[in-house]
Amino acid sequence: MRTTLIAVLATVSLASGLAGTPTASAANTYLTNPLGFAYGSVTGVAQYGHPTGMLVTGRCNRYAPEFAAARANGAEVLAYLNAANRPDEATNCALDNGFYMGDPSRVPLWPYPTDNPGSRVNWQNTHMADIRAGSVWADYVVSYVEDLIREGKVDGVFLDDLGARPWSSTAAWGTWSQTEKDAWAAGSVDIVRRIDALRRAINPRFIVVNNNTWDINRDTPANSLNGERYVDGICIEHHDPAGEYHQRIAGKPYGNLGHRRLLIIANTTTEAQQWATVQGVTHVSDQHGTGGYQQVTPPPIGFHRLTDRPKTFGRTTIAATPSSGMSADFKRASKFTLADKATLLRFAAYLDGNGGVAGTQSVRMVLYRDNAGVPGGFVAQSSSVSISSGSAGRWVSFTAPATALDPGAYWIAIHTGATEGVARNRGGDTPGNWYGNADTYTDGASNPFGNPGAPGTGTLSVYVTYTVGY
């Protein structure tokens, strides 16, 4: 395992869940969080277990329980993968050898220079791998990442060295022909393009960060800038926070999935704090020096909860059967299970105004804890929304206070006021997941849910949006 990262890491800036939300610094409109590298030991990983710290695993410890615990508390965990360089020898690590096709000797080498193919070296004790578009190795890497996306045990990948060019002196980039340069950049772009297509189809929340740049500010290979659209960001290592070039690439937009991640590895804690004020930066680390990536150091800045990778619990599909126009001063609820420690962001319900009555009807959402199979204690309620007669069916979003939620069973309720009979939900298509009772709208939802109540059929088309951890 390498103990240093490349001179220019391609890292991504993590955008706040609300565009334009300011940080503590007036210079950066992105919230910033600490970043830790645990290539070897997992000691200290728990320090990053807050919304929304970030951890990069090593090649052999990805499934350590410490990472799972940090994720459960709100951290984002990225799996380290180096597709650009193949170790010269197998290791004692089954996970590492598994990534390198069962045995690193099976990984095809970069077929350049033409007079001595397979001889390119970027880092000590490695050789550069054949990442050309459509190569056997490139196909294997994409398939491996697909498995990680489907597995769901990490939040994303940290793709070391993939980018427009290698940066070490041993790679001797200046001696490469333009054909070789273009092939390297095209191969890197093709790998992230294919990974991006897979995550969009399987899990758009999956983070992709490459540890290199696509814009090298000089003799940039043809089409290498296309790589920026397929990743959530890059990583920048050991550079002056005042440097014009590195500030420029830190501020680029990168992918369009809404969760930018721009990572910085600074030389000192002071520099990490300075980088946190640079536009576009989302995560900073002060790990540096030989062996500096083997074990996390204390977070150099505080934590700021990001809302750009939300999750949901409830029913996100639209039931086939509409209700009749909903009664005034009444609550109806369905039960759902939350698997995570969470912070409530907002509610949603599928509503229309086709209940048959003219006017508007006031609607709010309410969350209750389960109490032996019926709604119990009050947790939170949303803002009020007016549904107009004749309005088309749509998912209506309700703002709510940030509220800590423990894993468990909850009831998501629709609470309606006047005018009776305007609004409708959908939910009469399943048995036995409905409970309701009368509750005056004007004084807010009752605590607890209240009796008498009555069960009914169907499951409401309602859900809660949340972030992991609190």
pLDDT digits (tens, 9 = 90+) for 250-283: 999 999 999 999 999 999 999 999 999 999 999 9
Amino acid letter, residue 209: V
pLDDT computed for residue 11 by the predictor: 32
Cα–Cα distance between 436 and 375 in angstroms, integer? 9
Q: In which band, very low, low, confident or very high, does the pLDDT at 9 lie, cut at 50, 70 and 90?
A: very low
pLDDT reading at 335 higher than 60? yes
pLDDT computed for residue 24 by the predictor: 39
Instruction: Please enumerate in sequence order all residues whose Cβ is within 8 A of that of 103, keeping only pairs 6 or more positions apart, or say none.
Output: 90, 97
Contact of 455 with 327, CB cutoff 8 Å: no
pLDDT reading at 333 higher than 70? yes
Cα–Cα distance between 337 and 313 in angstroms, integer? 7
Cα–Cα distance between 68 and 293 in angstroms, integer? 19
pLDDT computed for residue 289 by the predictor: 61
Cα–Cα distance between 437 and 104 in angstroms, integer? 65
pLDDT reading at 168 higher than 50? yes
Q: In which band, very low, low, confident or very high, does the pLDDT at 18 lie, cut at 50, 70 and 90?
A: very low
**Count of residues in the chain:** 470
Contact of 380 with 364, CB cutoff 8 Å: no
Give pLDDT tens digits for 220-255. 888 999 999 999 999 999 999 999 999 999 999 999
What's the CATH number of domain 312-468, 3.40.30, 2.60.40, 1.10.10, 2.60.120? 2.60.120
Cα–Cα distance between 118 and 107 in angstroms, integer? 11
Q: Is the dihedral of CA 125, 128, 130, 131 positive or negative?
A: positive
Query: What residue segments make up the domains of the chain, in order of their start?
Result: 33-306, 312-468
Residue 417 is classified by DSSP as -
Residue 458: half-sphere exposure toward Cβ, Cα within 13 Å: 19
Amino acid letter, residue 47: Q
**Percent of the chain surpassing pLDDT 70:** 94
Give the mean pLDDT of 280-291. Answer: 86
Cα–Cα distance between 140 and 101 in angstroms, integer? 8
Residue 48 is classified by DSSP as G
pLDDT reading at 156 higher than 90? yes
What φ, ψ does residue 101 adopt, rounded to 5°? 60, 30
Asked if CATH classification 3.20.20 holds for the domain at 33-306, the reply, yes or no, is yes
Residue 23: half-sphere exposure toward Cβ, Cα within 13 Å: 29
pLDDT computed for residue 356 by the predictor: 97
pLDDT computed for residue 22 by the predictor: 34
Cα–Cα distance between 33 and 25 in angstroms, integer? 13
Cα–Cα distance between 452 and 470 in angstroms, integer? 34
Instruction: Name the token pair of 34.
Output: 């600490």
pLDDT reading at 291 higher than 70? no
pLDDT reading at 320 higher than 70? yes
* Average pLDDT score over the chain: 93
pLDDT computed for residue 19 by the predictor: 31
Give pLDDT tens digits for 64-97. 999 999 999 999 999 999 999 999 999 999 999 9
Contact of 394 with 352, CB cutoff 8 Å: yes
Give the mean pLDDT of 422-448. Answer: 95
